[in-house]
């Protein structure tokens, strides 16, 4: 006799246990243990028929509660994001004595695991907190590339230019000649500490120092190259040649 949905006590003395998983369309996985020397085709046929009936009943019951995957996870369900960083950058995420990683954890409430190969796993029940922590770590480990543009914050002003933070832990210099197309005598005539300014990475030297430009993101003014002046002939007046000054 074939029993459906057997219990522990029924499993032991039975000659076979058979498990089937699938959908409305068919079986996707099966598992079977036997204690007999052989099974007849009739037993196999009946087994699949009973498995089909049971599977469809279970699917119907499931569909009454949820017939399709949820668009979003439950607010109480844990969320996990896994990504890799350069192993050489792990120390930038940890910080001296764990200062930086502990700050990320305390301000976002996430759990962070970092492997030696650079794999980072962040867990949180809040999608917003998860995204904040991911962005924080990626900003700490990213490297600027020539041609990239940023909205940066002016952090220091010197006679020869202004330092702008383009992402956490990364500053670049906007030389006074790169502030504007016009000649600038005083850096403070253009920017002040705390200003948010658009900048473009124009060069990264061998020491990793980032050179930025505000001028590169501004349209160059149209310069007036010269003008012509004509002296029209008046009655009794001699003709004068045209000159360009």
pLDDT at res. 21: 92
Comparison of pLDDT for 208 and 165, the residue scoring more: 165
**In terms of DSSP H, where are the helices of 66-214?**
90-94, 99-108, 127-141
Asked whether the predicted pLDDT for residue 237 surpasses 80, the reply is: no
Asked whether the predicted pLDDT for residue 243 surpasses 90, the reply is: no
Q: What pTM was computed for the model?
A: 0.51
Sketch out the chain's domains with CATH numbers.
8-65 (no CATH), 79-141 (3.30.1370.10), 143-245 (2.40.50.140)
The Cα 90–Cα 157 span in angstroms is: 31
**69 token code pair:** 């995957």
What number is the average pLDDT over the span 157-170? 92
What number is the average pLDDT over the span 22-44? 87
199, 174 contact by CB (below 8 A): yes
The model's pLDDT over 164-185, given as tens digits with 9 standing for 90+, comes to 999 877 899 999 999 999 999 9
154, 148, 149, 165: which is closest to 190 by C-alpha? 154
What's the DSSP call for residue 13? T
Asked whether the predicted pLDDT for residue 30 surpasses 60, the reply is: yes
90, 88, 136: which is closest to 110 by C-alpha? 136
């Amino acid at each position: 006799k074939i029993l459906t949905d057997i219990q522990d006590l029924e499993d032991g003395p039975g000659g076979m246990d058979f498990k089937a998983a699938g959908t409305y369309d068919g079986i996707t996985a099966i598992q079977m243990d036997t204690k007999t020397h052989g099974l007849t085709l009739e037993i196999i046929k009946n087994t699949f028929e009973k498995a089909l009936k049971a599977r469809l009943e279970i699917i119907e019951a499931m569909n009454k509660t949820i017939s399709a995957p949820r668009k979003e996870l439950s607010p109480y369900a844990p969320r996990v994001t896994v990504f890799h960083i350069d192993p050489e950058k792990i120390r930038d995420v940890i910080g001296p004595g764990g200062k930086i990683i502990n700050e990320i954890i305390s301000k976002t409430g996430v759990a962070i695991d970092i492997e030696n190969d650079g794999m980072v796993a962040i867990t949180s029940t809040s999608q917003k907190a998860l995204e904040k922590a991911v962005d924080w770590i990626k900003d700490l480990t990213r490297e600027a590339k020539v041609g990239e543009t940023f909205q940066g914050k002016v952090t220091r002003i010197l006679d020869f230019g202004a330092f702008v933070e383009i992402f956490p832990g990364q500053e670049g210099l906007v030389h006074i000649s790169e502030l504007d197309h016009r000649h600038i005598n005083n850096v403070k005539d253009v920017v002040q500490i705390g200003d948010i300014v658009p900048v473009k990475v124009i060069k990264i030297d061998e020491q990793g120092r980032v050179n930025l430009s505000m001028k590169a993101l501004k349209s160059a003014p149209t310069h007036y190259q010269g003008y012509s002046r004509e002296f029209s002939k008046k009655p009794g007046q001699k003709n004068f040649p045209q000159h360009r000054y």
